[in-house]
Structures are given as structure tokens and as C-alpha cells.
Copies of this chain bind each other. A is one copy, B any other.
Amino acid sequence: MVNEREFLADYQPAAYPAVAVTVDIVALTIRDGRLCVLLVERAEHPYAGRRALPGGFVREEALDGAALRELNEETGLTRVHLEQLKTYGDPGRDPRMRVFSVAYLAFAPLLPEPEAGSDASGAAWVPVEQATGLAFDHDTILADGLDRARAKLEYTPLATAFAGDEFTISELRQIYAVVWGEELHAGNFHRKVLSVPGFVESTGQTATRGGERGGPKPKLYRAGDAKLLHPALLRPGREEDVR
């Protein structure tokens, strides 16, 4: 019976209803100390007028390429960290037809451009807590993306993708604080970051001035060559683990 099915499936693909594959992108950045996601406003039905994650149909290109192209079209960004998140394909998630969406997660350094072309589509960076009521199942996709982003900060040096080429330990700590939504002990964070091999490397320079509200000139660092943090930087307050 399995063979019959396979046979049919292999040789009569046209017998199946038409399907489409899109990529949708959860692009995150930090603006004004807040975690923001890139959203577009839909001009067409379905969900006309609703905000949605940027994305579009996959052409004759690789999936990663499609995601990069879409993101570039909306933001002009080209050198971003992009990784596949998950694929969503429930029947009915798009009222037009069966649409499978391969979601991607992107980490953008501090605002490459405030707004997209400022023209048409109205792409905008929206604080994640205000990004609700999105089109399709994009609320779910965004939630999954945030979960993944928060988890990845723990064991990868991904936070450096949110920072510029050079950054201070405090700036890095602020990134963690904003993404995780909780303050971190400055001293311990400092010790930890410097002790994890390959996380950051010193530039030998210091910032030209201290913080906004005082303090000495901090040293500058750039991202190291580690792909994984070991030991990991664990999120505080996870004692009573997810059961």
C-alpha cells in the first residue's frame, strides 16, 4: 500500500492541488533600547491593511537566497545574520490556496535605515510588544522567532550581530537585557563575557567619551571568532524550568 501511494505521488504530482511556497522574515533589531521587528502593511487581500511580516513567493532560487532578497528589498540590508526558523503549512493558513511559508530569522545591527524606502509598502520597525494582530499566522511565527532569538543569545555570540563593528561590554549587556527583558548584573556579565573564549576580542581602543550620564571611557571590543559560547551565558530566573 505504501508503494502504491508512493507510486502515485511520484508520478502524478500534477494531480495534487496547486501549492505555493513563500518565505517570511522575522527581522529583529534594537532601536531606542527596545526590541523591534520589521513589519509591512498589506495593501491587498487577504488581510488588506493588516500588518504582516515581510516576505514573498520563492522564485527559482535557494530558500536562503529568497529570504535575503526579500529582506534586502525591504531594508536594503545585505550583510545580516539570517537563519531558517521553521516552516508553517497548516491548510487554511492562507485563504487563497495552500501556502507553505518557510520562516527566517534575521538579526540586524542598529538601524541601518530608520524606515524602508519610506515610500509604498510602509515597512517599519515596530517594538515587538506592539506587534500583535498580524496577518495570517504571523503572530505565531513572530512568537516562535522571539523564542529562538532569546534562546540563541544564550549559547551563541549572536548578540554581537545586533551591535556595530565595535562595541562596549555595556552595550552588549544592554542587548541581552533588551532581548531577554531583564537586567543583568553588570559585574558578572563583564567577567563572563571576557572569560568565554572567542566571544569578544579587544580592539585596544576606548570610547571617546564616557556614558551619557557619567562613568569612565569604556574599552571597545569587536566580535570574536567563536560560533558557540562555552560555557553558555545562561538566562537568569529559569530556576523553575519549563515543565
Contact partner of A96 among B13, B43, B243, CB < 8 A? Answer: B13
Interface: A143 (CB within 8 A): no
Q: Are A62 and B84 in contact (CB under 8 A)?
A: no
Q: Are A226 and B238 in contact (CB under 8 A)?
A: no
Chain A contact residues, majority secondary structure: loop
Q: How many A residues touch the partner, as a band?
A: 35 or more
Q: Complex Cα distance A2/B61, Å?
A: 18
Interface: A225 (CB within 8 A): yes
Binds B, one of A3-11, A171-179, A183-191, A209-217: A3-11
Q: Complex Cα distance A74/B91, Å?
A: 24
Residues on B with beta carbons closer than 8 Å to the beta carbon of A61: 91
Contact partner of A44 among B11, B86, B121, CB < 8 A? Answer: B11
* Complex interface residues of chain A between 13 and 35 (CB less than 8 A to chain B): 13-14, 16-21
Q: Are A91 and B62 in contact (CB under 8 A)?
A: yes
Q: A6-B121, A96-B13, A243-B225 are in contact. Are A89 and B238 (CB under 8 A)?
A: no
Per-residue interface assignment for chain A, residues 67 to 102, with 1 indicating a CB less than 8 Å from any chain B CB and 0 otherwise: 000000110000000001011111100001110101
Binds B, one of A52-60, A105-113, A124-132, A158-166: A52-60
Interface: A63 (CB within 8 A): yes
